[in-house]
Structure 1
Amino acid sequence: MADSADFDDLLAANADFAADFQYGGFDGIARAGVALVTCMDSRIDPLRMIGLKPGDAKIFRNPGGRVTPQAMEALVLGVHLLNVSRILIVPHTRCAMASGTEAEIQARIAASAGVDVSWQPIGVITDQHRALTEDVHKVKAHPLIPDSVQVGGFIYDVDSGLLKREA
């Protein structure tokens, strides 16, 4: 069994957060009608970077910010059940998933893990702009995403905090 103290700092921070929690009873729809697919990178503050707050948007994060089958599932649910009418797909500059080949990234993980990781797929991105264009097209072409939903592809600059429309 893990040491219960392993998470004490996070649980204390959660208690502070919960002390003035204001979202109880919220219905979970996207108040601003926005869904965002972005990377798991900790330099990204998805709500604040587009001027939103909790409850305004549906957010799906994964390595590289790609529209995976799971992200598409979230977008379909968002559009049909959770008030989403605008979708942003937002990878970012200096992304680890765009920093090398699959073999190179697997080698870095293997060096850390001390075991062979060649069996673990890593979704590297060899051309970030092309991948973003493909993802925007994939969402727009999906039969369960109506034409009335606005879809845009943006690159987030982790050094300036700015978004640039790319697709």
Structure 2
Amino acid sequence: MIDTNELIRRNAGFAEGGSFAGLRLAPSGSLTVIGCVDPRVDPSAVLGLELGEAGVIRNVGGRVTPATLRTLGMLAKVVQARTGGPGPADNHYVVLQHTDCGITDLPPFPELLAEYFEVPAEDLAAKAVTDPFAAVRLDVELLKRHLRAGVFVSGLVYDVATGLVDVVVPPARVAA
């Protein structure tokens, strides 16, 4: 087990490096990644991102849920409060899901999934819980309906066996 003392020791090494100095609240890469909490799929490591390049939202399955949409809405308000505007027009939102995801083990618990997606249990089949490629396509379309026009949205699936990412939905601008 990694205990608090170990975390403090590691943090001291991080602080000594000073890589956090001068970072802004807004990601320098105008990138937000929605990914899974699975420890094998740290979006920063998988995508080679540096500290400060991207905002990362992680949840079970890396899914775009109503809670994810609320989080994105709050982040948009933070940007508006800090900048007085909607943020860069070239913002890019990436849905990153992966193979061998634990969410694929949850169909025997429809009440849990229904609560997570905030849908009736009879609508769960439409959420493609057992297929990350279909789920990415669904979630990208959901994002497009909720994000402002002009930003980019794409969808990726990370293969935990090979370490490679497949582009499932190439980047496209959200239409007006």
TM-score if structure 1 supplies the norm length? Answer: 0.74
Q: CA deviation at 1:122?
A: 6.2
Q: CA deviation at 1:126?
A: 3.2
Q: Which structure has the greater CA radius of gyration?
A: 1
Output the CA distance in 1 between the equivalents of 2:142 and 2:32.
15
Determine if the alignment matches structure 1 residue 27 to structure 2 residue 24. yes
Q: Structure 1 residues 50 and 78, CA, compared in 2 at 3 Å: closer, same or farther?
A: farther
Q: Structure 1 residues 44 and 8, CA, compared in 2 at 3 Å: closer, same or farther?
A: same
Determine if the alignment matches structure 1 residue 69 to structure 2 residue 66. yes
Contact 1:102 1:122 (8 Å CA) reproduced: no
Output the CA distance in 1 between the equivalents of 2:28 and 2:134.
31
Contact 1:79 1:85 (8 Å CA) reproduced: no
Counterpart in the other structure of 2:149? 147
- The equivalences for 1:153-164 within 5 A come to 153-164=155-166
Structure 2: give runs of 5+ residues left out of the alignment.
Answer: 80-86, 118-123, 170-176
Counterpart in the other structure of 2:120? none
Determine if the alignment matches structure 1 residue 128 to structure 2 residue 125. no
Q: CA deviation at 1:35?
A: 0.6
Q: Structure 1 residues 165 and 54, CA, compared in 2 at 3 Å: closer, same or farther?
A: same
- The one-letter code of the counterpart of 1:127 is D
Counterpart in the other structure of 2:97? 91
Output the CA distance in 2 between the equivalents of 1:37 and 1:6.
28
The percentage of aligned residue pairs carrying the same residue is: 29
Considering only aligned residues, what root-mean-square deviation do their CA atoms show, in Å? 2.9
- Write out per-residue CA displacement over residues 24-63 of structure 1, whole angstroms, 9 at most, x where no aligned residue: 3422111111110000011123123223211111100001
Counterpart in the other structure of 2:11? 14
Contact 1:58 1:78 (8 Å CA) reproduced: no
Output the CA distance in 2 between the equivalents of 1:59 and 1:13.
21
Counterpart in the other structure of 1:113? none
Q: CA deviation at 1:121?
A: 5.3
Q: CA deviation at 1:165?
A: 1.6
Structure 1: give runs of 5+ residues left out of the alignment.
Answer: 107-117
TM-score if structure 2 supplies the norm length? Answer: 0.71
